[in-house]
Amino acid sequence: MKTLFAPEVEGALPYWQWKVAEYEQAKRDAEANEIEGVDAVTSATPNASFDPRDYILPERNTEPFFLVVEVDAVGDSNEHYADQPSILYRLEIDNAYPSYFQVLDIDGDTKYDEDEEIWEAYYPDERLTTSLSLIDSSLLTIER
């Protein structure tokens, strides 16, 4: 999985950072489980990183998938936060029902669940102010 443009402040996009780590670990675990009994595997060169084509191209993936966008302004304080949490926007793409334009819906603000040890989106409450207006709306255009 590859971060093309990292945020200037580390940890500004905590959900993305966590998903990258989770994905890489899951991939390592899956490969270790699927290919037991060999010392090494020879193949055409696999990418070290996440290949979005494996999810996006209908030829490779027939299952619906989610596109998630994480938005944050570092240091956007208000009376409740010194730095308001990042906001997730999400939409579901199902190639079985192809569309050319889709609007991303707000999914929530990011928080770490200590018990489950996962980052999750929580429905925004009144404590969030300017972080909710960093973008007006987000439209995805799909070239098919």
The residue (of 29 and 113) whose beta carbon lies closer to other proteins is 29
The residue (of 46 and 98) whose beta carbon lies closer to other proteins is 46
CB of 29 to other proteins, least distance (A): 11
Please report, as residue ranges, which positions from 38 to 97 form the binding site for other proteins (by CB under 8 A). 38-49, 54, 57, 59-60
User: Residue 131: left if φ>0, alpha if ψ -120 to 50, beta else—which one?
Assistant: alpha
Give the span between the Cα atoms of 9 and 60, in whole angstroms.
Answer: 35
Q: Does 103 bind other proteins (CB under 8 A)?
A: no
CB of 21 to other proteins, least distance (A): 14
| 3-class SS of residue 105 | strand
Residues 68, 88, 69: CA angle, nearest 5 degrees = 35
The residue (of 63 and 126) whose beta carbon lies closer to other proteins is 63
Q: What is the CA radius of gyration of the chain?
A: 18
Contact residues toward other proteins (CB under 8 A) are: 30-31, 34-35, 37-49, 54, 57, 59-60
